[in-house]
Amino acid sequence: MSRDKSEQASYYDERFRGVRCASLLALERTTSILDAILSTKFEGPRIVDLGCGPGCLSNILATFGPTVGVDFSPTAISDARTRYPTVDYESADIFTWNYQRGAFDIVVSQEVLEHVEDQPRYVEIAHDLLRHGGYLILTTPNAETMMAMTERQRKEWTDQPLEKWVTRSELRTLLQRRFKILRMTTIIHGMGARRSYRLANSPKVQALMSGVGLGESFTRLRSRFGYGLHLVAVARKE
């Protein structure tokens, strides 16, 4: 293990120690992931949760199909095994994990891509884990929104050792090499106040749209045109 990865492992051990999972932002991401799983029409899919952290999402996924949670942090995995015994957890570096190719129907990657150095290889591993016709469901911070925040907002939002945010275009390029992209959108609005974000997130504009009955349509437009905090992609292995 490299020095950098040792530092990352220590960071995540401390970050996930005694963590609690209650978070409205996490709930909205989870809802998006579950909606994507529903769209696959799989009955009892075999699921792997890459970078599962404290295991909260893996536990939810396991109610829909047999689930494996994998994370870099031994502390997170140890705690997750105690809290959520219905999930098969493994402590491993995803890049050196001795996984079975084609073993899963669905790969879930929630807020992990931005924390790995070799993003193309990470996507390749996700592809290898899936059977033909399997689905990758991925969320990751939207680089355009992150850069529309003030420096203070960004630092308050994240302090992780490695941050490699991607834009919609960059994510599309990463995924298109190995997958057919079925859907890409953004979720969670109100972050960022620079450039066009100032107008998109203006409370006055939102109030005006709601007042004329276009509040939900305006939110859908912001999602479609990339103003959300997180990118959400659903892609299929052909």
Dump pLDDT digits (tens) for 99-117.
889 999 999 999 999 999 9
For the segment 115-124, what is each residue's pLDDT rounded down to a tens digit?
Answer: 999 999 999 9
Residue found by looking up tokens 């190995």 in the block:
178
> For residue 4, what pLDDT band results from cuts at 50, 70 and 90?
low
Nearest to 223 by CA among 196, 198, 200: 200
Contact 136, 235 (CB under 8 A): yes
> What is the share, in percent, of the chain residues with pLDDT greater than 90?
63
DSSP E strands in 23-129: the ranges are 47-50, 67-71, 88-91, 104-110
> What is the share, in percent, of the chain residues with pLDDT greater than 70?
92
Residue 41: left if φ>0, alpha if ψ -120 to 50, beta else—which one?
Answer: left
Nearest to 106 by CA among 210, 234, 3: 234
Q: 141: which strand partners?
A: 230
Burial letters for 119-130: b for 16+ Cβ neighbours within 10 Å, e otherwise? Answer: beebbebbbbbb
pLDDT of residue 2: 47
Residue found by looking up tokens 């103003």 in the block:
227
Output the CA torsion 212→201→137→50 (10° steps): -150
Our measurement of the distance from residue 189's CA atom to the centroid of its chain's CA atoms, rounded to an integer in Å, reads: 16
For the ranges 34-43, 77-86, 134-143, 150-159, the lowest mean pLDDT is seen at: 150-159
pLDDT of residue 9: 63
For the chain, list the domains and their CATH numbers.
Answer: 3-190+228-236 (3.40.50.150)
For the segment 124-136, what is each residue's pLDDT rounded down to a tens digit?
Answer: 999 999 999 999 9
For the segment 145-162, what is each residue's pLDDT rounded down to a tens digit?
Answer: 999 988 878 777 777 778
Token pair belonging to 232: 């959400």
pLDDT over 70 at 231, yes or no? yes
Q: In angstroms, rounded to a whole number, what is the distance separating the alpha carbons of residues 171 and 161?
A: 21
pLDDT over 80 at 19, yes or no? no
Q: In angstroms, rounded to a whole number, what is the distance separating the alpha carbons of residues 122 and 24?
A: 28
Give the mean pLDDT of 7-34.
75
Nearest to 174 by CA among 223, 106, 101, 233: 233
